[in-house]
Amino acid sequence: MITLEDCMGMCGLNEAEIAALAEHEHLAQMEAAALANYLLHQAGGAERIRQMLIDDIRAAGKAGNLTHAAELLGALRHFLQHHPQLQAV
């Protein structure tokens, strides 16, 4: 049986990043990991993931959930560290 940890290893994102994608797309975490894997192999896919994280940070801030916004910001920072080509965007 394939576990979520297996999927995280295959897609290259950590649990917080996958959870953020799952939240943004209203998917289960396993499905979000598959989506991440797909997007990271597509032109512009990493940028789409970055934008999803930014959208979620803004939504959490607008809803007054600063703790969640900070968690999502941590996921975004981690994502940018592992995808340095995006930092100039």
Residue 4 is which amino acid? Answer: L
Cα–Cα dist 80/60, whole Å:
19
Asked if 24 and 58 count as a contact pair (C-beta separation under 8 A), the reply is no
Mean pLDDT confidence for 67-87 = 88
Cα–Cα dist 70/76, whole Å:
10
Mean pLDDT confidence for 78-86 = 82
Q: Where are the domains of the chain?
A: 4-86
Res 87: pLDDT: 57
Structure tokens, 14: 């950590």
Q: What is the dihedral of CA 38, 10, 77, 65, to 10 degrees?
A: 80
- pLDDT tens string 3-55: 767 767 777 788 899 999 999 999 999 899 999 989 988 888 999 999 999 99
Q: How many CB atoms lie within 10 A of CB 87?
A: 9
Res 89: pLDDT: 47
